[in-house]
């Protein structure tokens, strides 16, 4: 059960460094950044164990002017990956799939001819572990998919790996991904406004996206849709060790391969990044941390989780300027000075 701190009460919300912050203090920080960062809407949740502060700020539409709220539906394409990872690990947990068996063996040459052709010859070695940790080497070049190198050699971001896993899950179950997720994730977790296809019942609470000049951009295309409330519930279940058994959760946030990055000069982020299964990881003075971001053109989101502190944060924005306020939000609200913001491209806004 998700227990919410009241947005106007005097509850003390714990930060990573042991200090606390009140909802009113959070309000002042976020409301300032809406203006300084030129961001139309920010949804924010801070999870402390089985409680969470959940609140949205700003607007979701300009004409008519409507406020953003925690159940406003937004595209969150790359958050799709964490849901696919959860479903995959549930299948592994139930012995319907192996992390290390080539996915080629689960496909039907006639029914899955597209993927079978793609996976021949190099791709025939790709496993679920490779896909979830971005070691599949699958990449799209000029509209054509290919395997560039031997799978399992290094981290190389691939949006295609999770799609391959989707095809495998659908083949094994004989059911569409939407049905699988609704049965095993969305309904059990109370995620009533989340899915992989746009639902007409969400129209009344849809968030518009905004470009860097604040002009509205309507776009319903995406891999995944969710709300601040729904994704907070998902993160909280993961943080509370609910849903997956202990072995699968440990595997999920265990480093599978390092992420090579060479920022300028002596930046200390270079040796602490790794890929987990469906998440990226980093070493932290607060213990383990795993994170995910979604960077659509006009909806920019970030979630980072510190399981050793039992603290997490979810930030969802409906603006192309959203990433420019993330570094300041993380530090001022959570005392998070550990997120690898340069690698993530969270370049701070310039004001005025």
* Residue 88 sits in the same domain as residue 71: no
* Residue 85 sits in the same domain as residue 71: no
Closest alpha carbon to 149 in 172, 128, 165, 125: 125
* Residue 67: CATH number of its domain: 3.40.710.10
- Bridge partners of 225, per DSSP, are 75, 195
Query: Based on the structure, what is the number of domains in the chain?
Result: 2
In a domain, 188, yes or no: no
* Residue 47 sits in the same domain as residue 129: no
Q: Which residues contact 120 (CB under 8 A, 6 or more apart)?
A: none
* Residue 230 sits in the same domain as residue 114: no
In a domain, 198, yes or no: no
In a domain, 336, yes or no: yes
* Residue 259 sits in the same domain as residue 322: yes
Tokens of 105: 């063996």
The span from the CA of 272 to the CA of 308, in Å, is 17
Tokens of 107: 């496909």
Q: Is the peptide bond before 352 cis (omega within 30 degrees of 0)?
A: yes
In a domain, 189, yes or no: no
* Residue 239 sits in the same domain as residue 288: yes
In a domain, 195, yes or no: no
* Residue 330 sits in the same domain as residue 228: yes
The span from the CA of 288 to the CA of 303, in Å, is 14
* Residue 63 sits in the same domain as residue 86: no
Parent domain of 145: 81-181
* Residue 340 sits in the same domain as residue 216: yes
* Residue 245 sits in the same domain as residue 312: yes
Residue-wise pLDDT for 259-293, tens only, equals: 987 644 444 454 589 999 999 999 999 999 999 99
Instruction: Print pLDDT tens along the chain (352 aa).
Output: 454 544 445 589 999 999 999 999 999 999 999 999 999 999 999 999 999 999 999 999 998 999 999 999 999 989 999 999 999 999 999 999 999 999 989 988 777 777 777 676 667 889 999 999 999 888 766 555 566 678 888 898 888 888 889 999 999 999 999 999 999 999 999 999 999 999 999 999 999 999 999 999 876 567 899 999 999 999 999 999 999 999 999 999 999 999 987 644 444 454 589 999 999 999 999 999 999 999 888 999 999 999 999 999 999 999 999 999 999 999 999 999 999 999 999 999 986 6
Tokens of 330: 């993380």
* Per-residue confidence (pLDDT) for residue 147, from 0 to 100: 61
* Residue 215 sits in the same domain as residue 337: yes
* Per-residue confidence (pLDDT) for residue 124, from 0 to 100: 82
């Amino acid at each position: 059960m998700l227990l919410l701190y009241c947005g106007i009460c005097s509850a003390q919300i714990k930060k990573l460094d042991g200090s606390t912050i009140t909802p009113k203090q959070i309000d002042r920080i976020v409301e300032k950044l809406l203006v300084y960062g030129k961001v139309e809407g920010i949804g924010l949740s801070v999870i402390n164990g089985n409680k969470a502060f959940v609140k949205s700020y700003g607007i979701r539409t300009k004409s008519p002017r409507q406020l953003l709220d925690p159940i406003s539906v937004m595209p969150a394409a790359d958050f799709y990956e964490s849901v696919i990872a959860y479903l995959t690990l549930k299948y592994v947990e139930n012995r319907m799939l192996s992390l290390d068996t080539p996915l080629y063996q689960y496909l039907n040459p006639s029914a899955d001819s597209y993927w079978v052709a793609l996976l021949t010859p190099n791709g025939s070695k790709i496993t679920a572990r490779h896909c979830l940790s971005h070691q599949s080497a699958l990449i799209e070049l000029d509209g054509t998919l290919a395997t560039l190198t031997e799978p399992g050699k290094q981290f190389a971001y691939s949006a295609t790996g999770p799609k391959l896993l989707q095809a495998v899950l659908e083949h094994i179950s004989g059911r569409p991904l939407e049905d699988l997720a609704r049965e095993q994730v969305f309904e059990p977790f109370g995620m009533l406004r989340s899915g992989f296809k746009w639902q007409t019942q969400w129209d009344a609470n849809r968030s518009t996206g905004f470009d860097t000049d604040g002009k509205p951009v309507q776009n319903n295309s995406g891999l995944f849709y969710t709300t601040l409330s729904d994704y907070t519930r998902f993160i909280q279940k993961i943080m509370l060790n609910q849903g997956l058994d202990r072995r699968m959760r440990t595997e999920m946030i265990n480093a599978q391969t390092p992420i090579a990055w060479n920022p300028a000069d002596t930046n200390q982020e270079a040796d602490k990044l790794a890929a987990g299964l469906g998440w990226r990881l980093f070493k932290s003075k607060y213990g383990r941390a795993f994170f995910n971001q979604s960077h659509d053109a006009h909806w920019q989101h970030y979630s980072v989780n510190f399981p050793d502190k039992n603290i997490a944060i979810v930030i969802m924005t409906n603006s192309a300027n959203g990433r420019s306020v993330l570094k300041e939000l993380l530090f001022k609200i959570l005392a998070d000075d550990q997120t690898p913001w340069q690698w993530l491209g969270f370049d701070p806004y310039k004001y005025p």
